[in-house]
């Protein structure tokens, strides 16, 4: 058993060594991480100012079935970051394949803030947080922040899910290699 553990560690060590030093600017890291396909979501909250806020997030995952929990990772510089921490709640809409325009809109830092950011997009307030849910999506989760953890240039928000639902049976929007990809066609 010890020999197997040593061999595995040695093989892993060689793979890391063969890869060379970590890039200083992160471009190679982003390119490498981008090979992992993700879903695309819009995370929203209602800020202390009473206005809705949202941003596109692809770092979303379910965490626990008992209790129901999800995790999102928010960049510290994003518009939503401080608003979600102040509200201590958020909602997640999993986008449908045809919602590329919504994903790009909520990723655009030059878009308007507050209600104007949601103009022309069908939405309703989530039952617990009151944060906007985009009705064109495929699923939604309404959460209270259970924990917030600093992680480099991001904050991990662990959300306890108060309510959730399916919006449609359409395919979800996916993202890999810095582009949107059709569901089922990831390579």
SS3 for 55?
Answer: strand
Instruction: Classify residue 52 as exposed, middle or buried by CB count within 10 Å of its CB (0-12, 13-18, 19+).
Output: buried
Of 7 and 101, the structure prediction assigns the larger pLDDT to: 101
Quick one: the chain helix, strand, coil %, rounded to 5? 25, 40, 35
Q: What Rg value do the Cα atoms of the chain yield, rounded? A: 19
* Strand 38-39, strand 41-46: pairing: unpaired
pTM of the predicted model, to two decimals?
A: 0.83
pLDDT the model gives residue 16: 42
Residue 102 confidence class, pLDDT cut points 50, 70, 90 = very high
What CA–CA distance (Å, rounded) separates 116 from 161?
27
């Amino acid at each position: 058993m010890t020999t197997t553990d040593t061999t595995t560690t040695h093989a892993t060590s060689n793979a890391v060594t063969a890869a060379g030093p970590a890039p200083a600017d992160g471009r190679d890291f982003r390119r490498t991480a981008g090979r992992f396909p993700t879903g695309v979501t819009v995370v929203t909250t209602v800020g202390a100012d009473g206005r809705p806020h949202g941003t596109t997030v692809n770092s979303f995952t379910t965490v626990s079935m008992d209790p129901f929990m999800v995790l999102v990772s928010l960049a510290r510089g994003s518009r939503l970051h401080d608003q979600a921490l102040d509200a201590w709640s958020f909602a997640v809409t999993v986008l449908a394949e045809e919602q590329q325009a919504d994903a790009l809109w909520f990723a655009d830092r030059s878009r308007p803030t507050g209600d104007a950011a949601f103009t022309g997009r069908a939405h309703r307030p989530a039952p617990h947080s009151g944060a906007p849910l985009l009705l064109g999506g495929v699923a939604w989760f309404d959460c209270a922040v259970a924990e917030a953890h600093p992680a480099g240039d991001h904050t991990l928000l662990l959300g306890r899910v108060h309510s959730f639902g399916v919006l449609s049976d359409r395919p979800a929007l996916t993202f890999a290699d810095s582009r949107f990809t059709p569901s089922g066609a990831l390579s």
